[in-house]
Structure 1
């Protein structure tokens, strides 16, 4: 299983927003981009897609930025990945119609199902804690 760069950047941004959730202030886009090495113009597009999906909210102005729309323990990795990728991808393998190919196709379907179940079982708060992600404090 591989995730696109866009999906990986989205996960990084969401993990930072999860770590910043208790700060009670929006996280500036530029800080997220700089801290994680994400091109700012690309991060704008990613966060706009996450906003359309209802996962983040934004505020404008000098004290503006982005915040999670819900608590990090209510947002799963599947919620984030599904914005950018099909969670059932990998369910189809070869188009050959032989008994062995059908067996392999069944394995591919099981792998896709396991991937989806695992992504649905992991919350942003669990990942942020496991990765020891620290909130960004602003002065």
Structure 2
């Protein structure tokens, strides 16, 4: 699975919002862009798309910014990827030309279902937990 720059930026922005979710304060776009090296103009477009999908809320004004619309425990990677990338249905250009093409489509559909199932099991909270463990490894003596 390859993540586009847009998808990676969307995930990073959502993780930043998840980190600040408990404070109840909106996070400024400038902060997200600077902290993660995301071009601000591109980030605006991504956050607007996430807002239209109901994953984030925005607040205008000097103390405004963006917030998650739901808790980090409720937002899955599947939710996020579906908004940013759309559906990942299997297609084949050889479907009409070859009698063997349907079996390839069947396997592709199975893999897509497995991937979707795994992405539905990973929340933003899970990713934050993983990031905390990796940032502060335990040393055993």
Range into which the TM-score falls when normalised by the shorter chain: 0.7 to 0.9
5+ long unaligned stretches in structure 2 = 136-141
RMSD: 1.8
TM-score (norm 1): 0.87
Tell me how far 1:116 sits from its aligned partner: 1.2
Query: 1:67 is paired with a residue of what secondary structure?
Result: strand
1:69-128 per-residue CA deviation (whole Å, 9 max, x = no partner) reads: 011101111111111213333x22452443433222211111111111111111111111
Question: Is contact 1:17-1:66 (8 Å) kept?
Answer: yes
Distance 1:104 1:44 in 2: 39
**1:20 alignment partner in structure 2:** 20
Which one has more relative contact order, counting CA pairs under 8 Å at least 6 apart? Answer: 1
Distance 2:44 2:18 in 1: 18
Moved more, 108-117 or 47-56: 108-117
Tell me how far 1:63 sits from its aligned partner: 1.0
Distance 1:3 1:95 in 2: 26
Tell me how far 1:8 sits from its aligned partner: 1.2
Distance 1:71 1:59 in 2: 17
Which structure has the bigger radius of gyration? 2
Distance 1:56 1:100 in 2: 44
**1:95 alignment partner in structure 2:** 94
Query: 1:35 is paired with a residue of what secondary structure?
Result: helix
5+ long unaligned stretches in structure 1 = 135-139
Query: 1:58 is paired with a residue of what secondary structure?
Result: strand
**2:115 alignment partner in structure 1:** 115
**1:124 alignment partner in structure 2:** 124
**1:106 alignment partner in structure 2:** 106
